[in-house]
Amino acid sequence: MEKMNNKNKIFIDKLRSSGLRPTKQRVEISKFLFNRKKTFHFTVEELKNSMNLKRSKKISTATFYNTVHALKSAGHLKEFSLENNTSYYDTNITSHHHFFDNGKVIDIKSDKITFHKLPDAPKGKKIKNVEVVIRLENNNQ
């Protein structure tokens, strides 16, 4: 990348350290995803639409999918699913939990939920992680 200003260096390093070539597109997508204070939940289509809206030269759909998959494989994004057959991604890769409120997702910090009892893993298996979904509904009156 010819233009490597300081603003981008952190994202370039992040990509490079994951074995991903820091192309123009990947750097811009990384900046969009990770240059924010709060956790970001998104689908690939949402990401594409919001980024391309502001751009004259659009990034292709395939690149959004490729990049999100690469970032996920590198451990920079977490995938999760709702009941609508669409993949959601979460920039918060630490182990944590979620409220699901009619398609809206809210993070719950890991330490907000603790267990009194948990089952053992079946023979030959071990527990990779434990994630809780708390489904919400409106509190009518």
Partner DNA sequence: AACTACTTTATAATAGTTCTAAACTAAGTG
Partner DNA sequence: CACTTAGTTTAGAACTATTATAAAGTAGTT
Chain residues that interact with its own copies, rule: CB under 8 A: 79-83, 85-87, 99, 101, 106, 108, 112-119, 121-122, 124-139
Stretch touching DNA by CB under 7 A, among 83-91, 96-104, 111-119, 120-128: 83-91
Residue 128: count of CB within 10 angstroms of its CB? 6
Of 13 and 79, nearer to its own copies (C-beta) is 79
Q: Is 52 in the site for DNA (CB under 7 A)?
A: no
- Count Cα atoms within 13 angstroms, Cβ side, for 28: 18
Task: Enter the tokens of residue 31.
Answer: 């900046």
43 contacts 90 by C-beta, under 8 angstroms: no
By CB under 7 A, tell whether 111 contacts DNA.
Answer: no
Q: Binding of DNA at residue 22 (CB under 7 A)?
A: yes
Please, which residues bridge with residue 61 across strands? none
Report in angstroms how near the CB of residue 53 gets to DNA at its nearest: 15
Distance, CA of 51 to CA of 124 (rounded, Å): 45
